[in-house]
């Protein structure tokens, strides 16, 4: 028998038989592996098409409108309290104005920390306005802020809702101190 290197069988045919022998049967493993390859390939194609067609999303949820509006209101109150402190004419005690500025800065810091877990807001930003810097204007702004923070607290959940409820109570206290 004349064998050449690389022949897999003594007859010289790599299929296990001679040139006229029937082809070798495929095993169950061969069919399972082939079927699995088809399924994996199809799934990869579907997944690639699915990922390609979807816009990239932020891992963070969108900021609730109530939280965004609370941030805007608190920024206005900080500005208003700072203006009143700088232009104090003796109508309001300096210690009260300092406490108002300090409180509003703390509220803003808490709201800002709560907002960091959200993506930038997708809704329209409302333009705000500052009211006068006298005692009555400050009191009115504090009363409005207390009411709005309380309403917003009911629209949120968890720690953020508790923060806004606490801010609402603090704003109400400021309004009473300004009476």
- The pLDDT, as a whole number, for residue 60 is 80
156 and 80 share a domain?
yes
pLDDT on residue 177: 85
3 state DSSP class of 119: strand
Q: What is the pTM of this model?
A: 0.61
CB atoms within 10 A of CB 152: 23
127 conformational bin, left if phi > 0, alpha if psi -120 to 50, beta if neither? beta
Pairwise CA distance, residues 79 & 111, whole Å: 16
Assigned token pair, 56? 């990239």
The predicted pLDDT at position 125 comes to 47
Tens-level pLDDT at each residue, the chain (179 residues):
455 555 455 554 455 556 676 777 778 887 777 777 777 777 777 777 766 766 656 578 888 889 999 999 999 999 888 888 888 777 778 888 889 899 999 999 999 999 988 887 655 545 455 556 577 888 898 899 999 999 999 998 898 889 989 999 989 988 888 88
CATH of the domain at 157: 1.20.1260.10
* pLDDT of the residue at 130: 53
Crossing angle for the helix pair 135-153 and 65-86, to the nearest 10 degrees: 160
- 98 phi and psi angles, rounded to 5 deg: -60, -40
Q: Are residues 83 and 44 in the same domain?
A: no
Which stretches within 19-134 are classed as H helix? Answer: 28-53, 65-86, 94-115
What does the pLDDT read at residue 149?
Answer: 92
Task: Find the domain containing 87 and state its range.
Answer: 65-177
Predicted local distance difference test score (pLDDT) of residue 122:
57
Same domain? 76 vs 45? no
Q: Are residues 104 and 81 in the same domain?
A: yes
pLDDT at 127: 44
At 55 the pLDDT is: 60
- In Å, how far from its chain's centre is CA 118? 3
Residue at a domain's end among 56, 80, 98: 56
Tally of structural domains, the chain? 2
């Amino acid at each position: 028998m004349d064998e050449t290197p690389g022949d897999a069988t003594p007859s010289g045919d790599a299929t296990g038989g001679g040139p006229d022998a029937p082809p070798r049967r495929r095993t169950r493993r061969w069919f399972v592996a082939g079927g699995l390859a088809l399924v994996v390939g199809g799934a990869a194609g579907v997944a690639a098409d699915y990922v390609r067609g979807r816009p990239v999303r932020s891992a963070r949820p969108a900021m609730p409108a109530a939280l965004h509006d609370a941030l805007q209101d608190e920024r206005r109150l900080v500005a208003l309290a700072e203006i009143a402190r700088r232009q104090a004419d003796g109508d309001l005690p300096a210690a009260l104005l300092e406490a108002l500025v300090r409180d509003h800065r703390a509220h803003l810091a808490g709201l800002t920390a709560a907002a960091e877990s959200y993506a930038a807001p997708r809704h329209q930003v409302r333009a705000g306005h500052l009211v006068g810097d006298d005692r009555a204007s400050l009191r009115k702004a504090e009363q409005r802020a207390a009411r709005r923070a309380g309403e917003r607290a009911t629209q949120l959940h968890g720690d953020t809702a508790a923060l806004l409820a606490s801010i609402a109570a603090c704003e109400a206290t400021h309004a009473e101190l300004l009476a």
